[in-house]
Amino acid sequence: MNNKRSLLPTLLVVLLIVLSFGAGFAYSKLFTPAAPELPAEFDTLGEVWELLSLDYVNKDALDPEELSRGAIEGMLEALGDPYTSYLESYQLASSDLEGSFEGIGAIVSMEDGELTVVSPIAGGPAERQGMRAGDKILEVDGEPTSEMNLIEAVLKIRGDKGTTVTLLILHQGETTPVAIEIVREEIKLDSVYLDMLPEDTAHIRITHFVERTPDELTEALNSALQSDAWGIILDLRGNPGGYLDVVVDVADEFLDGGIILYEADSEGDIIEEWTASSGGLATDLPLIVLVDGGSASGSEVLAGALRDHGRATLIGTKTYGKGSVNILHELSDHSALYVTMARWLTPDRHLIEGVGLIPDIEVEITEEDIASGRDPQLERAIEYLQAQ
């Protein structure tokens, strides 16, 4: 995409970092007025402003900036596309998923008007306080999130390390909400974790795709190979996505060529394609991929590519279903607009957006499993891999 950096996060918000909308977006230059002229129907907007200026009783409420923002948000809402979004700060929208940050460590989405946890960051304060994928955040410090948009909710939850936020949470599958206090922390975003399991099986978890993920994965794979690993369980559960080029680099380690993903227009016609190069570290090792409802966007692209090429069996539960391509524009007032411009397809041209991936072997994790510390999905992956 020329000089633009593509991303693959979901319509999610990393509460400690950045507002990352869409399955992929490219940073654009400052918007310039090269767009077509406004249609005649937009003349009514000017008429409304003129009449309000003349006749509205409360002139103090006629804030042009506030009304302009409301008009933009109304326009985008009329599209019915949650991934085409407006943000007041381009700088906030374009922050990288890198380094260390301060917050609660959770990724959320606005689903059917409800602030929903897609995934807590591994090891973060939200996860330690019992926040799980699928939970609904009903209130932030006593204020109902039903009266906030996604950005407003996120900005209320974010904050400096050492400060506390109280969230009213409705855990998935439960009927009574509970209040939890979370102390915000500095969270370091390591993205790859290796655990050598019995019988020389490598369990590699990728929590998100950031700039240093390929180096971390190379280190993990080399360590696994030095430990005589004969099979790999690649854990993408709760992985919300990240940089597209990083996803491609990760796929390269497991594929010895071929298509990784396609970018298609609304008619399904291919706009662009990404291919794997040869020479990966783990192109021949038996491979299982773990996925769940928190596996979104980049992790869905990777899992779909590995399955379509016959490289991996997917175990777990249905993935999130986020596969739209978004481009990020900086507007003249330094606000930002995400625009959905295309869809991601797997190598076999399966649509991800709104559909997700159904695992080859479906394994649920129950509340009892969580309470007892069991991981039946990982257990099934080990069992399946060892039977190969």
pLDDT tier at 382, thresholds 50, 70, 90: very high
Asked whether residue 24 carries a pLDDT value surpassing 50, the answer given is: no
Note if 292 is an active site residue.
no
pLDDT value at position 310? 97
Give me the mean pLDDT over the 316-335 stretch.
Answer: 86
Asked whether residue 378 carries a pLDDT value surpassing 50, the answer given is: yes
Per-chain mean pLDDT for the chain: 85
Domain boundaries, the chain: 12-93, 100-188, 192-323+341-386
The domain 192-323+341-386: what is its CATH number?
3.90.226.10
Query: Quick one: fold of 100-188?
Result: Pdz3 Domain (2.30.42)
pLDDT tier at 373, thresholds 50, 70, 90: confident
Residue among 297, 299, 324, 335 flagged as catalytic:
297
Asked whether residue 258 carries a pLDDT value surpassing 60, the answer given is: yes
Residue among 135, 235, 292, 308 flagged as catalytic:
308
SS (H, E, C) the chain: CCCCCEECCCCEEECCCEEECCCECEEEEECCCCCCCCCHHHHHHHHHHHHHHHHCCCHHHCCHHHHHHHHHHHHHHHHCCCCCEEECCHHHHCCCCCCEEEECCEEEEEECCEEEEEEECCCCHHHHCCCCCCCEEEEECCEEHHHCCHHHHHHHHCCCCCCEEEEEEECCCCCCCEEEEEECEEEECCCEEEEEECCCEEEEEECCECCCHHHHHHHHHHHHHHCCCCEEEEECCCCCCEEHHHHHHHHHCCCCCEEEEEEECCCCCEEEEEEECCCCCCCCCCEEEEECCCCCCHHHHHHHHHHHCCCCEEEECCCCCCCEEEEEEECCCCCEEEEEEEEEECCCCCECCCCCCCCCEECCCCHHHHHHCCCHHHHHHHHHHHCC
Residue among 135, 191, 322, 324 flagged as catalytic:
322
pTM: 0.73
Looking at per-residue pLDDT, the higher value among 265 and 363 belongs to 363
Note if 228 is an active site residue.
no
Note if 161 is an active site residue.
no
